[in-house]
Amino acid sequence: MRCNFLTTIHLVAGLTLTWLAACKTTPPPPLNLPVIGQGIVAWGDNRSGQLGDGSAIAKRATIGAVNIDGNWNAIAAGEGHVLALRTDGAVWAWGENGKGQLGIGTFTNANTPFTTQIDNVTAVAAGGNHSLALKRDGSVWTWGQNQSGQLGDGTNNDNASPVQAKAFFLVRATAIAAGGNHSLAVDGNSEVWAWGQNAFGQLGDSTIANRSTPVKVKHLSGVIQVAAGANHSAALKNDGSVWAWGDRRHLQLGDGGNSPSLTPVQVPNGLPSTPQAFISNIAALAAGGDHNFALEQQNSVWFWGSDKFAESSGFGGGGGLGAVAPDGTPVAFPQILQGISGKITLVNAGLNHSLALTDDGRVWAWGRNDQGQLGDSTFVDPLAILPVKNLRGATAIAAGSSHSVALAMPSVALDRTTLDFGNVPVNTGATLMVTLTNTGAVPAPINSFASSNSEFTFAANCTPPIKLAAAASCVIQVTFQPGSAGNRTATLFIGTDTPQGNLAVTLNGNGTP
């Protein structure tokens, strides 16, 4: 915004008129968020269309591409819906929409992505049947189910279009999270605000009263990230400590209590002890239905909470520090996750299953698998942590109620980088082949083929520009037809919009009389 300074006119002696000239508003530049993924894959439950591929299949235990192109910055999964944030700040959504949680102005499910009615978004969060977005200006917008006030707009009316959370302090929000029926936001002062359902104290305001407008979480400051489960909440402070509040019935707070905590308590390290040690040096949090994960800066992962389907430990029984909840189900005290090979860079928790991303682009899954949400080609709970089959180049993950999604980068490879034609008589031809394969999990943009010498021509069973499907190949036939004697060297250029960039095949041949 550009404004003139105060302007003053002297009317008569001792009397002046002063005003501020009108401001000229300059629109902000278009958003250009970092590209995290160039494609989206999904697997698991599809009864509401949450796989986003347009199919009517009820569930799928293998990955498949979501029916949309673009460059993506973030992904989030709710009970039966998915939100994807594009690098231009637009939000796309698909899946369950009975409460308007897709934000597309209707209450009809969508099995392919639609644009949500919001822009300039920098972060998204998906709850049970509601959604949150953080805009560039720091405002928080919500849509979907609102029976418990989880939209924060001062009403209990569901809304199929985004509405702004009614709180002046959220104009400067820096982080958001969506739980089963409640919502969280961190403000510019590193304090946490909460709204929605509060039957278990998950709003942290010392009450169990639902709130349709944000209230401040008590006794909590210095927060940099929040996470929300079904009926509990968690926060990561700038000193690396983790705090949690709300439902305790399945050890969601990690401290061994059974009654709800209406204000935050610090998450301990292991079993209760005197003096008590606490988990520390944490870089990121994730909260599922009734379980949690904390990623250490050294890339180890702590878990605690419900282990009914081995969603915490991966192996069942609450891991090495297991216990039994009042309802007879196994639970876990905070302990280190085992069974994943590779450096863990991200972890995410669904209702009863969990996902982890390693730095080699693999995704690991464990917990309940009745809908194929673990992506291991079965519908059987494995009681093990397994890599998702055929998923390579993953860059972000999200676990919903019974479905899973991931952002991924395409990857292409050539079966050879040199074609040597040897001796070829003048005015005759020899043909060799090179195969281009999409080795990634999402379609790979192939832009062009070109030869640097007209005596080397090519033909292919694919014609750029194309999107080469995952695991698909394109065979390029190169023909050398010398017009005169002598050695020739050329290059076949293959233009791609992938992390590998443009590829090249060296072409050699010798024309003979």
Q: How many independent structural domains does the chain possess?
A: 2
Is 16 a member of any domain? no
Angstrom distances, CA of residue 391 to CA of 107, 136, 506: 32, 32, 31
- Together in a domain, 402 and 437: no
Q: Are residues 306 and 447 in the same domain?
A: no
Q: Which residues contact 145 (CB under 8 A, 6 or more apart)?
A: 99, 100, 101, 128, 129, 130, 158, 181
Whole-angstrom Cα distance, residue 406 to residue 390?
Answer: 12
Q: How far apart are CA 304 and CA 227, in angstroms?
A: 14
Judgement on whether residues 443 and 357 belong to the same structural domain of the protein: no
Residues 311 and 403 in one domain: yes
Cβ-based burial of 431 (10 A; exposed 0-12, middle 13-18, buried ≥19): middle
Q: Note down pLDDT in tens along the chain; length 513 residues.
A: 444 434 343 433 444 433 344 445 677 788 999 999 999 999 999 999 999 999 999 999 999 999 999 999 999 999 999 999 999 999 999 999 999 999 999 999 999 999 999 999 999 999 999 999 999 999 999 999 999 999 999 999 999 999 999 875 566 999 999 999 999 999 999 999 999 999 999 999 999 999 999 999 999 999 999 999 999 999 999 999 999 999 999 999 999 988 999 999 999 999 999 999 999 999 999 999 999 999 999 899 999 999 999 999 999 999 999 999 999 999 999 999 999 999 999 999 999 999 999 999 999 999 999 999 999 999 999 999 999 999 999 999 999 999 999 999 999 999 999 999 999 999 999 999 999 999 999 999 999 999 999 999 999 999 999 999 999 999 999 999 999 999 999 999 999 999 999 999 999 999 999
From 374, 390, 408, give the residue that closes a domain: 408
Is residue 358 situated within a structural domain? yes
Sheet holding 159-164, edge to edge: 121-126, 130-135, 140-144, 159-164
User: What distance in Å separates the CA atoms of residue 436 and residue 448, rounded to the nearest whole number?
Assistant: 12
Task: Please check whether residue 238 lies inside any domain of the structure.
Answer: yes
| CATH number of the structural domain spanning residue 489 | 2.60.40.10
Q: Is residue 25 included in any domain, yes or no?
A: no
Interatomic CA distance for residues 501 and 497, integer angstroms: 6
- How many residues are there in the chain? 513
**Is 466 in contact with 433 (CB distance < 8 Å)?**
no
**Domain range for residue 440?**
412-512
Last residue of a domain, one of 374, 408, 442: 408
Same domain, 419 and 352: no
Q: Name the phi and psi angles at 173, rounded to 5.
A: -65, 150
Please tell me whether residues 275 and 215 are part of one structural domain.
Answer: yes
| Same domain, yes or no: 403 and 464 | no
In a domain, 33, yes or no: no
CB 53 within 8 A of CB 39: no
The values of phi and psi at residue 320, to 5°, are -75, -20
470: three-class secondary structure by DSSP: coil
Closest listed residue to residue 129, CA positions, set 67, 50, 29: 50
- Phi, psi for 172 (deg, rounded to 5): -115, 35
Contact 500/392 with Cβ under 8 angstroms?
no
Look at residue 217 and tell me if it is in a domain. yes
Residue 10 lies in a domain: no
Instruction: Give the CA diameter of the chain.
Output: 106
CATH number at residue 155: 2.130.10.30
Q: Report whether the peptide linkage leading into residue 464 is cis, meaning its omega lies within 30 degrees of zero.
A: no
- Would you say residue 292 lies in a domain? yes
The answer to whether residues 246 and 125 belong to one domain is: yes
Q: Which of 355, 390, 408 is the last residue of a domain?
A: 408
Q: Are residues 468 and 484 in the same domain?
A: yes
CA 3, distance to chain mean position in Å, is: 40
The CA distance from 334 to 321, in Å, is 8
Whether residue 418 sits in one domain with residue 381: no
Contact of 138 with 173, CB cutoff 8 Å: yes
Contact 436, 503 (CB under 8 A): yes
Q: Which residues contact 33 (CB under 8 A, 6 or more apart)?
A: 73, 85, 86, 87, 88, 89, 122
> Is the Cβ–Cβ distance between 198 and 184 less than 8 Å?
no
CA atoms of 366 and 350, how far apart (whole Å): 10
Residues 257 and 273 placed together within one structural domain of the fold:
yes
Q: Is residue 353 located within the same domain as residue 418?
A: no
Residue whose C-alpha is closest to residue 113's, from 138, 146, 91: 91
